[in-house]
Amino acid sequence: METAIEFKNIKKSYGEKVVLEGFNLSIEKGEFITIIGSSGCGKTTALKMVNGLIHPTSGDIFVDGENIRNKNQTQLRRNIGYAIQGSVLFPHMTVEQNISYVPNLLNKRDKEKTKNAVSKWMKIVGLSEDLKHRYPSELSGGQQQRVGIARALAASPDILLMDEPFGAVDEITRRQLQAELKQIHEQTGITVLFVTHDISEALKLGTKVLVMNDGKIEQFAKPEDLLRSPATEFVKELVKKERRTCYLPEDQLSSCEFSGTSGKVSSFDAR
């Protein structure tokens, strides 16, 4: 398998304060990585390093085998979808203008192509065509998230970075969005990095889960491995509740399937 993103010996500190240290991680193409950890442990920092919004104090990051230091940051970012909490739509642009923002940065000429991309992505994220000319303030929370996802994907990037994108929507909408995102991932084969503080969301969506604590990696494994054999006390504590929702005795936990597609995963989150 090809490596999509690689963190090599990353250290990040703000003055005295060390946020990340000895951070090594290799992410393969087409993976859906969920990143979970206590608040302030450096999840956002790690994510923003991929698209160059934050530069490491030392160490290197490779995207598609190329050190991003040597890349034009703007070009790099245009190839990486980016969706953050609350989706942060541009309030002065319509749904259509929001979604076509990146395609317009890439090529202003080909209006037809952009238009088709907007329609296609609106359909995929489940937005009806007649919302095109609405402004963000005229949309529900769930609709806003969908626009946010469509906007991040509209230029068909190879990598998608998402920082707690579903943090502010209600439970039902969140479950719909999760299912849609999962489907998009399966259909496009895009590499996804998804930060969450909800362990059930992390287990449900991720093909691999990265558990972080205090700037270090606790465990990087498939969801079922995380449940089956937590590497540290921290991980054990984190997945304790999720293990119990299997209603299986300790010794039989290995037969509990925690794939995100099973649909059996509890929606009681770990917060």
Binding site for ligand ADP (CB under 6 A): 14, 17, 19, 39-45
Compute the least distance from the CB of residue 81 to other proteins, in Å. 8
Q: Residue 191 interacts with Mg ion (CB under 5 A)?
A: no
Residue among 82 and 258 whose Cβ is closer to ligand ADP = 82
DSSP letter (8 states) at residue 131: G
Backbone phi and psi for residue 37, each to the nearest 5 degrees, phi listed first? 170, 170
Q: What are phi and psi of 168, to 5 degrees?
A: -115, 20
40 DSSP 8-state letter:
T
Cβ distance to other proteins smaller for residue 56 or 230: 56
- 3 CB contacts (<8 Å, ≥6 apart)? 26, 27, 28, 29, 62, 65
User: Residue 19: which of other proteins, ligand ADP, Mg ion, none does it interact with, CB under 5 to 8 A by kind?
Assistant: ligand ADP
**Residue nearest ligand ADP (C-beta atom):** 44
Positive or negative torsion for Cα 119, 125, 131, 134: negative
Q: How far apart are CA 36 and CA 11, in angstroms?
A: 19
Name the minimum Å distance from CB 177 to ligand ADP: 20
Indicate the residue among 85 and 188 with the shorter CB distance to other proteins: 85
Strands 216-221 and 58-63: unpaired
For binding to other proteins (CB under 8 A), which residues are involved? 48, 51, 53, 74-80, 82, 84, 86, 88, 90-92, 94, 101-102, 105, 133, 135, 151-152, 161
**Interface with Mg ion includes 45 (CB under 5 A)?**
no
Nearer to other proteins, 95 or 270 (CB): 95
42: partner contacted, choices ligand ADP, Mg ion, other proteins, none (Cβ within 5-8 A by kind): ligand ADP
Nearer Cβ to Mg ion (44/143): 44
State which residue, 149 or 226, has the beta carbon closest to other proteins. 149
Q: How many whole angstroms separate alpha carbon 11 and alpha carbon 240?
A: 30
271's contact among Mg ion, ligand ADP, other proteins, none, with CB below 5 to 8 A by partner kind, is none
* Closest distance of CB 241 from ligand ADP, Å: 21
Choose from other proteins, Mg ion, ligand ADP, none: what does 40 bind? Cβ within 5-8 Å by kind: ligand ADP
Q: Give me the residues that bind Mg ion (CB under 5 A), please.
A: 44
